[in-house]
Structure 1
Amino acid sequence: MTVQLVDRFPAMRKILLTAVMAASTAVLLVPTAATAASETAPAVALAPAAPCEGKQAWPELVGIDANTAGYTIRKENPSVTVQIILAGSPVSPGFRCDRVRVFVNPQNVVVEMPRVG
């Protein structure tokens, strides 16, 4: 049901993807010297990414067949497991160094840049 609604309403898909990305991004509040002195709001910085082994992203695979993309990813970073997922499908949040999700369209073509996480 959710996938059908997301496919019918592209704006809803964008909102859902934004919500998923926001939920999976850690934010760290970092006080600065100015903050301590002036009691103004602290600066916001993204927490550093977890140190993962091997190649982290494959922008060159967008538009390629999913099976070829999966083979390429496993060849270039053998420490990851490749998950091929239909774009717009719900996924569990959280960052993992041993996972690469490959989002594809119904024709099995990669539509988003695969990356570790």
Structure 2
Amino acid sequence: MVIIQSKTPYPPCQSCTCTGNQCKHFGFSNQREWPELVGVDVVKAQTIIESTNPDVTVVVLNKGGCLAPTDLCCNRVSICPDEQDHVKDMPKIGI
């Protein structure tokens, strides 16, 4: 996984055993999934995610290098951009 941009310095992983809406049982009360952002410009999506859930940092991956992370971090949301810098897959916490 390669980071190409981030609003804040890359935080240490807050390890968890869930992703997206599965994390509601673990006390995460802010928005956890953003299906409405698929196809949206990456920079706009990053701003929306970080404003609707201030507990996470968005990690934008390299185009074509969007491998699933090996660890689940509930304080991070990875965005996989397509060739036009639009969100390719649904962003959600833990991935």
Whether these two folds match at TM > 0.5 is yes
* Number of the residue aligned with 1:86: 62
Question: Is 1:115 aligned to 2:86, yes or no?
Answer: no
Unpaired segments of 5 or more residues in structure 1? 1-24, 27-47
Structure 2 unaligned blocks of 5 or more:
1-16
Q: Which has the higher helix share?
A: 1
Residue number among 44, 68, 73 corresponding to 1:96 in the alignment: 73
Structure number with larger C-alpha Rg: 1
The alignment's TM-score, normalised by the length of structure 2, stands at 0.65
Q: 1:66 aligns with which of 42, 58, 61?
A: 42
> Using CA pairs below 8 Å that are at least 6 residues apart, which structure has the higher relative contact order?
2
Identical pairs, percent: 33
Offset, 1:88: 4.1
Cα distance in structure 2, aligned partners of 1:91 and 1:113: 13
- The runs of 4+ residues in structure 1 deviating greater than 6 Å are none
RMSD: 2.2
